[in-house]
Structure 1
Amino acid sequence: MAASRSDFAALLRTWRDRLSPADAGFTATGGRRAPGLRREELAQLAGLSVDYVLRLEQARAKNPSAQVVGALARALQLARAERDQLYRSAGLLPPQDGTVDTHVPPGIQRLVSRLGDVPIGVFAADWTLVWWNTMWSALHGDPAAVPAAERNLARALFGNGAASASMLPVRSERGPDAFAASIVADLKDAVSRYPTDARLDRLVRELRETSGAFAHHWAARTTAAPHTTDAKTIRHPQVGDILLDCDVLIVPGADLRMVTYTAATGSTEAGKLDLLRVTGGHVATVATTHP
């Protein structure tokens, strides 16, 4: 196991040095001692502490979880074979066929990072958020502030944990139930295609037991259908209500969905997006007395 930890540490350092900051969505500045990512940048992308990344790279941290290794693989923009190598070096089996794949191809990560003017989130087949850009964080709040296990749209819509608490109010022009019904239909479809995925099974069982709305939609004879453009109003604490076109794009060759939000050039809504881009979505004044 010690040799394995050493291999894992060496791979982390090698692949961090290889990844261009620009490809990861960071602005390259002077004063870098190496061309690759800084350790704190990798930590930020993977949703880990800098100290933990340091201990992993020094082979002092033992037995990283599959969730941690998966987050690092995505942050490092590894190809599938490299991802599997990283899992094995950590003493773990790579993700198996027949389970929901959370691997985001490097090209998709670069695309999301470079389209910095557009809020983009990438979701797996079970609607787990697996990648996002800075504009997504500015519009919806930083997903890194939510525990990784809670970064799931179905949990945000129907659960009562951190995902639900962090979700901003969103109103769809298709009505309050249409979007929720479509997410449940997607999960039913995912269950039929990934019957052995334990995480997906646990998600569905939990929501059926704890959410009457989810159980109602699950019992309905609704089948998954292609997502079409939807107009959504998001109530943002800094810019107020912002009405945006929401599109769901399927990633070719991967069971992933890219969710994008756009506004017409020169519109009031585009101006609000510009403000979020400049401020990062941070509220200037905190006010909040609750009854």
Structure 2
Amino acid sequence: MTNARREDLGRMLRAWRRARGPAPALGSLPARGHRTYLTQLDMALQLGVSERWYRALEKGEDRRYSREMIAGVCRILDLAPQQAAALHRGTGHEPPEPARGRGLDPALVQLMRQQRYVSYLCDQAWDVIEANVVAARHCPWLARPGANVMTWAFSPEARYQLRDWEDRWAASLLTRLRLAWQRRPDDARLDEVVREVRAQPGVAALWDSPASAAPDPLPGDGARPMFFPLVAPDPVDVRVLACGPYDDATVRWHLVMPVDSTLAFP
């Protein structure tokens, strides 16, 4: 990390500290005077380090700050996930995995429900959290209790709706599942999803094939055929768009959009 980046991170950290009132953070420690923010000494006392050592962090000095110290700073200042991730990476540490199950932003849910195409929210293990009315009508499995995108996508049922399943869908989805599984070795729910997917007919062989480990298994422009009997008598080419809230990596919003934008989804 360059000196300029470290110094900029230190400036942000000072601003985050000064925005944090002393009362909730200090707990049983006595607050000195009538202050409206935490001092560097307050932080050092709670972290169990010298004031000079903590001050070096805010000055952007390149030192070996322990992961425990950085986690303590995040906890004391109640940093948002994006702030905590920046502080971890800026001090040479991998950010912790965000906790699953954070409250959903009502604005995101409302936006997801307003779409005129299949639209749904899922978590990091592809468990479906919310789906709009269009999704429930054209992909009824999304509205079932306990629905999971990956376990459905590799089921015999899915291979009827996801046309050219093995060539156009399976390798791409399997790549994403495998990469997520490697990134989060302690995710018990994702482990469970992988076991269920691998148990589906033919998936074990696909898992071991070079195609599912390819960096970009999607042919062409990423459009894939999907069958919607209420929309058209033949399969429709669709693109699956994915995005998420800026400060919450645990939620992903998926939108299944037809390449032909004139198609109506009743």
Listed as ranges, the gaps of 5+ residues in structure 1 are: 1-79, 82-96, 277-291
Q: 1:110 to 1:223 in 2, by over 3 A?
A: farther
Mapped pair 1:152 → 2:148? yes
1:107 is matched with which residue? 107
Letter in 1 for 2:174: V
Letter in 2 for 1:234: F
**Structure 1 counterpart of 2:200:** 211
1:100–1:245 CA distance, 2 compared to 1 (3 A)? farther
Q: CA deviation at 1:123?
A: 2.9
Structure 1 residue 223: deviation in Å?
Answer: 4.8
| Length, aligned pairs only | 165
Q: CA deviation at 1:184?
A: 1.3
| Partners of 1:225 and 1:100 in 2: CA distance | 29
Q: Unaligned 5+ residue runs, structure 2? A: 1-79, 82-95
Structure 2 equivalent of residue 262 of structure 1: 258
Output the amino acid matched with 2:113: S
User: What amino acid maps onto 1:170 in structure 2?
Assistant: L
Q: Aligned equivalents of 1:138 and 1:130: distance in 2? A: 17
How far residue 196 of structure 1 moved from its aligned partner, in angstroms, is 0.8
TM alignment of 1:232-251, pairs within 5 A: 232-236=225-229, 240-251=233-244
What is the TM-score normalised by the length of structure 2? 0.51
Equivalent residues in 2 for 1:33-52, closer than 5 Å: none
Distance 1:240 1:169 in 2: 12
Per-residue deviation, residues 200-243 of structure 1 (Å, max 9, x unmatched): 112212332x2352212222340565976414231426753351
CA drift of 1:249 comes to 2.2
After TM superposition, the structure 1 = structure 2 runs for residues 93-242 of structure 1, keeping only pairs within 5 Å, are 98=97, 101=100, 103=102, 104-115=104-115, 117-141=116-140, 143-144=142-143, 146-148=144-146, 151-159=147-155, 165=157, 169-172=161-164, 176-208=166-198, 210-221=199-210, 222-223=213-214, 225=216, 229-236=222-229, 240-242=233-235
SS at match of 1:241: coil
The answer to whether the Cα contact below 8 Å between 2:112 and 2:253 also exists between their aligned partners in 1 is no
- Matched to 1:105, the amino acid is D
Identity, % of aligned pairs? 19
Distance 1:220 1:205 in 2: 17
* TM superposition outliers: structure 1 runs of 4+ over 6 Å: none
